[in-house]
Amino acid sequence: MTDTITEAEQAGFASDMTQSTTLGQSVRAYANRVRGGDMGALPSILGLIALFVVFWLANDKFLSYLNMANLITQAGPIVILAMALVPVLLLGEIDLSAGVAGGVAACVMGVLIVKHGQPWGIAVLAAVVTGAVIGLVIGLLVAKLGIPSFVVTLAFFLGLQGVTLKLIGEGGSVRVNQEVIYGIANKNVDPTLGWIAAAVIIAGFAALSLLRQRRKVAHGLQHQPLAVVVAQIVALAIVILGVTFVLNQNRSRNPNFPIEGVPWVLPLIAVLLIGWTFALGRTSWGRHVYAVGGNAEAARRAGINVDRIRISVFMACSAMAALSLIVQASVSGKVSTSSGGGNALLYAVGAAVIGGTSLFGGKGKARDAVIGGLVVATIANGLGLLNQASYINFVVTGGVLLLAASVDAISRRRRSASGLG
């Protein structure tokens, strides 16, 4: 080196261990990141709060216990489908057929239960496997033949609707009144059990966060200040306890038949969210998904089997889509020829993007699907309460998606200008 090394430069490498030691510093660092275009979930959370305020001002029924529970069940299928799409979007690909692939899978489940009298567990497994097989074929065509995923999945979008028609007959539908499947959206967790589960999740999150923090400090790794970790735990606790409290209130209009408790779809989403957050953030597979989405050539040179990653992501997507359409079947009580068709997929893509997942690949989280899915469902729910014509719903949702995509594009430009991830 030249002989002009300053003290700061010499110490430069050790300084990263104790970076942002105080709460104030890390708040400032966060503000800088946001200004630099790395906004994460912030716009979608602010948007969600704004929507809640607007709809609450417009209609006092919006914040009623009954409507909040309805909102959760309405959001369920969108959130799960959006979560299915997050890994595909992380690769910079798209799966237009996820909705109808889930539709075919839900048909398989419905037919197995209704016509063949199979137990629900086997039917659900068969549906998930159906989804995975569809995803395998899509993945092979994209990865091995090199057809753009847009084209492959557009073809599947058209073709699989035909398969659904064939499975359940023109214009028909399969009623799903199996107790467990029907119960996902229509039955509730016992309030006591709900409180216990909420407490367990909060305690688990707190324990894991604090342990990780302590381990990082002990090994001299880069870590967040304790105050930030505690603030995250408190924020999560407030959200979980608040939601549990609202959903545990009696929301029945008939005083003789109380309806209370968290709808079963919510713990299902929680499990999927935890699973996907773990898979994407804490396993090599997840790391490789981000790598392929960020720079496929670099991933290949690093010895990652890029084709295998692509194929596995499309398989996971279609298998998750099967779960989404099973929940949809539970909400509507039937599987019909239009299951997963129409706008279902586009709403889910919109939800993921609104939540903060980039369409350019390499950036996004499983939780984006939850926040974005809630935004999309809130628009539909709120406008529905206001008895607006359905055209308004389309226009507003389209507008919000455009807004989210603009935020994505602009923040991406800012990120590359300011050099943030």
Q: Identify whether the C-beta of residue 83 lies closer than 8 Å to the C-beta of residue 366.
A: yes
Site for another protein in 255-284 (CB under 8 A): 282-284
Euclidean distance between CA atoms 164 and 300, whole angstroms = 38
Question: Which range binds another protein by CB under 8 A, 113-121, 181-189, 245-253, 412-420?
Answer: 412-420
Q: Return the amino acid letter for 165.
A: L
What is the pairing mode between strands 334-336 and 173-175? antiparallel
Number of residues that bind another protein (CB under 8 A): 41
Closest approach, Cβ 25 to another protein, in A, equals: 14
Q: Identify whether the C-beta of residue 354 lies closer than 8 Å to the C-beta of residue 44.
A: yes
Site for another protein in 192-221 (CB under 8 A): 215-216, 219-221
| Dihedral (CA of 120, 376, 360, 343) sign | positive
From 63, 74, 131, select the one nearest 97 (Cα to Cα).
Answer: 131
Closest approach, Cβ 275 to another protein, in A, equals: 12
Which of 10, 25, 390, 406 lies at the binding interface for another protein (CB under 8 A)? 10
For another protein, the closer of residues 363 and 367 by Cβ is 363
Euclidean distance between CA atoms 65 and 244, whole angstroms = 11
Which of 3, 7, 13, 121 lies at the binding interface for another protein (CB under 8 A)? 13
> 55 vs 50, 64, 69, 177, CA distance in Å?
9, 12, 16, 33
Angle at 285 between CA 325 and CA 156, to 5 degrees: 35
Closest approach, Cβ 420 to another protein, in A, equals: 6
Closest approach, Cβ 5 to another protein, in A, equals: 7
Q: Return the amino acid letter for 22.
A: T
In eight-state DSSP terms, residue 174 is: E
Q: Identify whether the C-beta of residue 171 lies closer than 8 Å to the C-beta of residue 337.
A: yes
Q: What is the CA radius of gyration of the chain?
A: 23
Closest approach, Cβ 363 to another protein, in A, equals: 6
Euclidean distance between CA atoms 87 and 137, whole angstroms = 17
Which of 175, 287, 308, 414 lies at the binding interface for another protein (CB under 8 A)? 287
Closest approach, Cβ 1 to another protein, in A, equals: 6
For another protein, the closer of residues 9 and 190 by Cβ is 9
For another protein, the closer of residues 116 and 219 by Cβ is 219
> Taking CB under 8 A as the rule, does residue 12 contact another protein?
yes
Pattern 290-309, binding to another protein, x per CB under 8 A?
xx-xxx-xxx-xxxx-----
For another protein, the closer of residues 237 and 279 by Cβ is 279
Q: Which helix (H) or strand (E) holds 355?
A: helix 344-355
Site for another protein in 325-354 (CB under 8 A): none
For another protein, the closer of residues 175 and 300 by Cβ is 300
For another protein, the closer of residues 119 and 220 by Cβ is 220
From 276, 306, 279, 278, select the one nearest 291 (Cα to Cα).
Answer: 306
Q: Return the amino acid letter for 384.
A: G
Pattern 359-378, binding to another protein, x per CB under 8 A?
---xx---------------
> Taking CB under 8 A as the rule, does residue 420 contact another protein?
yes
Q: Identify whether the C-beta of residue 379 lies closer than 8 Å to the C-beta of residue 397.
A: yes
Site for another protein in 73-92 (CB under 8 A): none
DSSP string, 61-114: TTTSHHHHHHHHHHHHHHHHHHHHHHHHHHTT---TTHHHHHHHHHHHHHHHHH
Closest approach, Cβ 292 to another protein, in A, equals: 9
> Taking CB under 8 A as the rule, does residue 406 contact another protein?
no
For another protein, the closer of residues 90 and 265 by Cβ is 90
Closest approach, Cβ 26 to another protein, in A, equals: 13
For another protein, the closer of residues 187 and 212 by Cβ is 212
For another protein, the closer of residues 87 and 99 by Cβ is 87
Closest approach, Cβ 211 to another protein, in A, equals: 12
Q: Residue 43: count other Cβ atoms within 10 Å of its Cβ.
A: 20
Closest approach, Cβ 302 to another protein, in A, equals: 4
Q: At what angle do helices 265-282 and 366-385 cross, to 10 degrees?
A: 150
Closest approach, Cβ 168 to another protein, in A, equals: 39
Q: Return the amino acid letter for 76.
A: G
In the complex, the residues that contact another protein under the rule CB under 8 A are 1-2, 5, 9-10, 12-13, 15-16, 19, 215-216, 219-222, 282-284, 287-288, 290-291, 293-295, 297-299, 301-304, 362-363, 415-416, 418-421
